[in-house]
């Protein structure tokens, strides 16, 4: 038997062609699931969804009640109305959990591989830097997007099932809600995931990457708020990444806002931020790929 058959393993991945990056994403999620903190956070992050699901069921049961008095009474309770604000509020409650998941999975995504020389192992396979980058990004974004966009769409569909009599009017008035939920979720999760990946790329340990990411968000928000107060211009608050996410949510769900800046400028700024983070990560990966 040739020695290489006992020493080297051939490439035998489930995903080939243009989907090789899914192998990296599956490995990232497999490693994350071994963490006790990850599993505990999975259960904890279900609390907002269960709360909103309970509120949805109670509201739908009340509004389909034959009593007109009961229907009008429940409609006066503003937070119980199933409208755009209902889904926007759910995403807002799920956002902190989404960010924690990005930190938990992404803080060690690059630095741990670099410290343990795993990047050379990846690039010894038919994987390129973009396969590696997309796989890591998909692994980090998977559950945060499922938590925000996925479960908000589940709430939307369940409302249609629980109140079939008013489903037609609901769809006619709020057909745009699923698109807004997906767009806002991507605007929240993607910049956060890329920021954490960039911090991981320039750090040596998981803890340091987490600290840098949190510190950058805090300093960014403090600087934007201070500048807006000094110059008395509310639009300058959009220099903060978090405030930009909130403003895009206001635009997508037609909520009141004191920001008069066109949403396109805010979206362009967030896109530039994402590209900068991606360049930092790809630069770190490229140095190892060339060496391999």
- For the stretch 114-126, pLDDT in tens is 888 777 777 777 7
Q: Which residue do the tokens 């009961």 mark?
A: 70
Predicted confidence at residue 224, as pLDDT, reads 94
Predicted confidence at residue 58, as pLDDT, reads 79
Predicted confidence at residue 6, as pLDDT, reads 47
What are the pLDDT digits (tens) for 254-287?
888 888 899 999 999 999 999 999 999 998 888 7
Q: Higher pLDDT residue, 225 or 14? A: 225
Give the C-alpha distances (Å, rounded to integers) separating 12 from 2, 125, 126.
19, 10, 11
What CA–CA distance (Å, rounded) separates 38 from 176? 33
Predicted confidence at residue 84, as pLDDT, reads 87
Query: Does the pLDDT of residue 168 top 60, yes or no?
Result: yes
Burial class, 160, CB count within 10 angstroms (exposed 0-12 / middle 13-18 / buried 19+): middle
Query: Does the pLDDT of residue 288 top 90, yes or no?
Result: no
Q: How confident is the model at residue 144 (pLDDT cuts 50, 70, 90)?
A: very high
Longest dimension (CA), the chain: 84
Query: Does the pLDDT of residue 154 top 70, yes or no?
Result: yes
Predicted confidence at residue 285, as pLDDT, reads 85
Please state, for a pLDDT cut of 90, what percent of the chain lies above it.
52
Average pLDDT over residues 85-103: 94
Q: Please, which residues have CB within 8 angstroms of residue 111's CB and are 6 or more apart in sequence? A: 200, 201, 203, 204, 205, 206, 208, 209
What are the pLDDT digits (tens) for 193-224?
999 999 999 988 899 999 999 999 999 999 99
Predicted confidence at residue 279, as pLDDT, reads 95
What are the pLDDT digits (tens) for 235-258?
999 999 999 999 999 999 988 888
Query: Does the pLDDT of residue 290 top 70, yes or no?
Result: no
Predicted confidence at residue 2, as pLDDT, reads 44
Query: Does the pLDDT of residue 98 top 60, yes or no?
Result: yes
pTM to 2 decimals? 0.88
Predicted confidence at residue 75, as pLDDT, reads 54
b (16+ CB within 10 A) / e for 221-231: beebeeebeee
Predicted confidence at residue 263, as pLDDT, reads 93
The answer to whether 140 and 28 have CB atoms below 8 angstroms apart is: yes
Predicted confidence at residue 60, as pLDDT, reads 74
Predicted confidence at residue 32, as pLDDT, reads 87
| SS3 call for 163 | coil
What's the whole-number average pLDDT of the chain? 85
Each domain of the chain, given as residue ranges in start order, spans: 13-291
Query: Does the pLDDT of residue 3 top 50, yes or no?
Result: no
CA angle 138, 142, 143 (to 5 degrees): 155
Average pLDDT over residues 7-17: 55
């Amino acid at each position: 038997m040739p020695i290489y058959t006992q020493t080297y393993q051939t490439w035998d991945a489930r995903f080939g062609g243009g989907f090789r990056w899914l192998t990296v994403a599956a490995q990232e999620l497999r490693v994350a699931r071994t963490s006790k903190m990850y599993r505990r956070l999975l259960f904890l992050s279900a609390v907002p969804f269960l709360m909103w699901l309970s509120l949805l069921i109670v509201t739908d049961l009340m509004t389909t009640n034959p009593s007109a008095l009961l229907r009008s009474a429940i409609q006066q309770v503003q937070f119980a109305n199933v409208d755009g604000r209902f889904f926007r509020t759910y995403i807002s409650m799920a956002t902190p959990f989404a960010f924690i998941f990005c930190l938990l999975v992404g803080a060690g995504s690059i630095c741990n591989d670099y410290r343990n020389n795993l990047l050379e192992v990846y690039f010894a396979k038919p994987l390129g830097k973009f396969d590696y980058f997309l796989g890591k990004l998909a692994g980090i974004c998977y559950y945060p997007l499922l938590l925000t966009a996925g479960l908000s769409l589940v709430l939307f569909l369940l409302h249609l099932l629980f109140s079939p009599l008013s489903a037609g009017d609901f769809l006619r008035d709020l057909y745009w809600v699923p698109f807004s939920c997906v767009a806002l979720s991507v605007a929240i999760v993607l910049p956060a995931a890329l920021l954490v990946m960039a911090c991981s790329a320039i750090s040596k340990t998981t803890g340091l990457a987490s600290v840098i990411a949190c510190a950058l968000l805090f300093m960014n928000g403090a600087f934007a708020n201070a500048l807006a107060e000094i110059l008395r211009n509310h639009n300058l608050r959009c220099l903060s990444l978090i405030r930009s996410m909130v403003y895009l949510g206001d635009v997508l769900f037609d909520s009141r806002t004191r920001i008069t800046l066109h949403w396109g400028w805010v979206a362009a700024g967030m896109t530039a931020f994402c590209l900068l983070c991606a360049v930092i990560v790809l630069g770190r990966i490229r140095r190892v790929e060339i060496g391999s």
